[in-house]
Amino acid sequence: MDRLDKLNLPADIKKLDKSELYDLCHELRQLMIQSVSKTGGHLASNLGVVELTVALHCVFDTAFDRLVFDVGHQSYVHKLLTGRYDRFHTLRQFGGLSGFPKPSESKHDAFIAGHASNSISVGLGMARARTLSRRDYSVISVIGDGALTGGLAYEALNDTGESGEPLIVILNDNGMSITPNVGGMAKYLSKQRIKPSYAAFKKKYRRLMEKLPGGRHIYRFTHGVKSAFKQALLHCSMFEEMGLQYAGPIDGHDLRDLIEALSWAKSLGEPVLIHVITRKGKGYIYSEKTPDVYHSVNSFDHKKGVLPIATGNACFSTIFGEELLKLAGQDFRVCAITAAMTGGTGLTEFAGKFPDRFFDVGIAEGHAAAMAAGMASQEMIPVFAVYSTFLQRSYDMLLHDVALSNLHVVFAVDRAGLVGADGETHQGIYDVGYLQTVPNMKILSPASFSELREMLRHAVLALDGPVVVRYPKSAEGRYKDGFIQNGSFSFARCLREGSDLTLVTYGINVNTALDAADILQERGISAEIIKLNYISPIDIDTVSASLRKTGRLLVLEECAEAGCVGERIAAYLAQNAMALKSLRLLNLGSRFIPQGSIDKLREMCGIDTSGVVRAAVEDCHMMHGSLSAGTDAGARVEDERGIPNNEETEDAAEMEDTGDPDEAGDADITVKPADAPAIAAADIGGEQGT
């Protein structure tokens, strides 16, 4: 990587000739292949945008101009060209570079990204702010054809054309969603209109017509004739009908054409869309053949190009797909819906066997939820398989279209909890809080493959109204029991009896609770484990019965604190004046969680086995008296660390180095004597992140 080592990037990129630029592109590809094969990440999409990204840096200065990526998983080349080459080996690692654009990481990252279809909206906002503040910089939004399946992108395009704001939209089309224009004349006209001479003539002609008497009418007439002629030859006129200039299709791997088109767009001074055709996975034979396989990869042998064979590769996603396939075979009403995540949600086999009942709607989660409601209203049983982080985009439809009519839609919420290397934008830690606000919603949380099978069957065939079954991607742990016990199911279950502490949890965190209980037993502490099968509604009777025996409550969850199960249990106890010796909520606090391995993040947040053991030991050895949950008891509950909720998650790596368990982010409370001054509200949260 001699050139990358020697260049002062991105400044030096403007000094290179075309031959040197192509050499640079080759080096960038080789570096990404070698590095991503070790760290994992989004490979094929980044290999496809090498020339496009290099061309952008030849024309623009991203320290001054605003470059907005849609989704952002294709920003690796941009990172390498903007001073992060030396840290690229830390990509997606704990304390390392994010796999997505991140303004706190570099001034060259204009806006954080992770979800789809928002780049044009964000870019237009920046353009309007530029105009209002009378500044002068270019705004460029890069959006893929996949993200263009989201309705938000069309809302933004419509507003952009109407606004007249200078904004450059680059449509990165890898040929999967949008059909390129065909024919020699179409290609000829596209090339002609991006030439500087054409743009200069157009501007002069418009100014001349504005000065002549009746010139505006002449301009409108000639412009109409030109538009009609162009529409007859260039069949992609949708963008121009929205008010944007259009150029394309352009070969996304031809630096000369790319630089010429970008320079033209920069000089135009009005909204413009440049349609660029790229090849996903370009430059690496294995990813060119199967770009979908190399879209997001774990570590692999880049010389052989063979992804490692997973040992025991069953995970909750694959089990879900298998069971839904069985259900569809038994009931013709069962349909599967996904939002551009067929393989990720385990639905590939379903799509092949029941193509008439499988619907991939593209990156359109709101549409998927509303469509599911329509299907349910006509007595079908739609199952919408969606990642937790993307279900957020459907919240209005959950309320208005599904729950309001109490329609039987099943939401299979995949990637629930921490997801690891994709970081803040993808952690599935908010659904517990917002889903429980939806009236009529039932939420089940399986802890094993058997439970997932049985809970899914129960949700599809036995329940009515909206139902959520939430689960992680991971494999199951030591807990392997089923949901059905002795021929019936329960909302909650006591897995292990104890006398000193009630440990309430759900989902795969049951494994952590069981491991912690074993260690606590060795230390003379008897923990009773209550496993919640439903987290909405909560079986408060089973929890209360355990608390009357132990007097201490610890709730373990892998979710944000706001709206967590522990908060709801604590509220019930307060309303019913139930006195406890201690109450502690272990969750992820009120902050964004950075990238890193799931084990490392659990350790950082204090919800791993050692964190649970530490919290339980502290609570059981507490000598501060009892906590009265009654409103008149005068109990004071506060964060014993006194840390304000505005700590930056960027300091996560520093937390690891300190070794201070109180910096681990567990959402705990310390009970003060009952005669302490009362406060209006209890702060039981961790640090607030960025």
Q: pTM of the full predicted structure?
A: 0.80
Exposure on the CB side of residue 216, measured as CA atoms within 13 A: 1
Please identify which of the residues 130, 282, 393, 453 carries the catalytic annotation.
393
Least confidently predicted of 184-188, 572-576, 584-588, 674-678: 674-678
Least confidently predicted of 210-219, 236-245, 594-603, 641-650: 641-650
- Residue 308's identity, in one-letter code, is P
Can you give the pLDDT at residue 219?
64
Can you give the pLDDT at residue 153?
92
Can you give the pLDDT at residue 308?
61
Q: Which position has the token pair 């690692």?
A: 93
Q: What is the mean pLDDT of residues 385-390?
A: 97
Between 237 and 446, where is the model more confident? 446
Active site residue 424: no
Spatial neighbors of 238 by CB under 8 A, at least 6 apart, are: none
pLDDT, tens digit, 9 for 90 and up, residues 581-636: 999 999 999 999 999 999 999 999 999 999 999 999 999 986 444 444 433 322 32
Please identify which of the residues 79, 102, 193, 280 carries the catalytic annotation.
280
Which strands form 334-338's sheet, in the order they lie side by side?
358-360, 334-338, 381-387, 410-414, 467-470, 442-444, 534-536
pLDDT band at 486 (very low <50, low <70, confident <90, very high): confident
Can you give the pLDDT at residue 3?
77
Can you give the pLDDT at residue 61?
96
* Cβ–Cβ under 8 Å, residues 146 and 177: yes
Q: What is the mean pLDDT of residues 338-365?
A: 94
* Cβ–Cβ under 8 Å, residues 472 and 500: no
pLDDT, tens digit, 9 for 90 and up, residues 166-178: 999 999 988 643 3
Can you give the pLDDT at residue 518?
97
Can you give the pLDDT at residue 655?
37
Q: What is the mean pLDDT of residues 640-668?
A: 37
Can you give the pLDDT at residue 201?
60
Active site residue 280: yes
φ/ψ of residue 167, rounded to 5: -145, 130
Active site residue 393: yes
* Cβ–Cβ under 8 Å, residues 151 and 366: yes
204 pLDDT higher than 80? no
90 pLDDT higher than 80? yes
Please identify which of the residues 365, 561, 567, 603 carries the catalytic annotation.
365
How many Å apart are CA 368 and CA 366, to the nearest integer? 5
pLDDT, tens digit, 9 for 90 and up, residues 101-138: 999 999 999 998 888 899 999 999 999 999 999 999 99
Q: What is the mean pLDDT of residues 41-66?
A: 95
pLDDT band at 664 (very low <50, low <70, confident <90, very high): very low
667 pLDDT higher than 70? no
Can you give the pLDDT at residue 174?
84
**DSSP conformation letters of 55-112:** HHHHH--TTTSEEEESSSTT-HHHHHTTT-GGGGGGTTSTTS--SS--TTT-TT--S-
E strand spans, 310-366: 334-338, 358-360
Mean pLDDT of the chain: 84
Can you give the pLDDT at residue 205?
64
pLDDT, tens digit, 9 for 90 and up, residues 411-431: 999 999 999 889 999 999 999
How many Å apart are CA 403 and CA 470, to the nearest integer? 18
Q: Which two tokens stand for residue 600?
A: 């490392």
Q: What is the mean pLDDT of residues 359-380?
A: 95
Q: What angle do CA 333, 336, 342 make, to 5 degrees?
A: 160
